[in-house]
Structure 1
């Protein structure tokens, strides 16, 4: 993983998470802003998938478990899709909060992916 890209993903996921949680607790239903913020994080995760495929071939191999890394990455991408899908089916303030919790969970998962890729020794 690339350190600066990890920070970009973390900042985007935390910002989207806080935006959705605050909007949901304020009584707002899912909107273009909240769903769009999660779409941005999803786009960053899809780019991370491409980066993770290319990185070992250009001299940036993982030091930890590759299987664990990919499980985190695929789970994070699916988690956001599930949260947005739920929010679009059940348009309530609590589905906006759930989207925020999902985005904050993805932030934790992205940091864990970075640790698996760079810190651990297999």
Structure 2
């Protein structure tokens, strides 16, 4: 993983989470803004998948469990899609909050993926 890219992703996910949670608690239903912020998080996760595939070929080997890393990554990729589906099916203020909760969960998962990739030195 590229460390700066991971932290940039975490920052975007936290900002998207705060936006969605604040707007949801203010009573707003899902909009282009909240769904778009979640879509940006999804797009960055797909870019992270590409980076995770290319990085070992470029000499950036993981020091932790590669299987555990990819399970986190695939799960994180599925979260925004599921939250967006929920938000489009049930258009209430709580759907917007769910988008925010998914984004904050992704931020936490990205931090853990960074630990798995680089912190577990032997």
TM-score, scaled to structure 1: 0.98
Shift in Å at residue 7 of structure 1? 1.1
1:118 paired with 2:115, answer: no
Hey, what's the Cα distance between the residues in 1 that align with 2:3 and 2:51? Answer: 12
- Aligned alpha-carbon RMSD (Å): 0.8
1:30-79, Cα deviation, whole Å (9 max, x unpaired) = 00000000000000000000000000010001000000000000000101
Q: Hey, what does 1:13 align to over in structure 2?
A: 13
Structure 2's unaligned 5+ residue stretches are none
Shift in Å at residue 120 of structure 1? 1.1
Q: Hey, what does 1:91 align to over in structure 2?
A: 91
Count of residues paired in the alignment: 122
1:101 paired with 2:113, answer: no
Structure 1's unaligned 5+ residue stretches are none
1:80-111, Cα deviation, whole Å (9 max, x unpaired) = 10000000000000000011000000000000
Hey, what's the Cα distance between the residues in 1 that align with 2:7 and 2:37? Answer: 16
Hey, what's the Cα distance between the residues in 1 that align with 2:101 and 2:74? Answer: 17
Partner SS for 2:34: helix
Hey, what's the Cα distance between the residues in 1 that align with 2:84 and 2:52? Answer: 24
Detail structure 1 runs of 4+ shifted over 3 Å in the superposition.
none
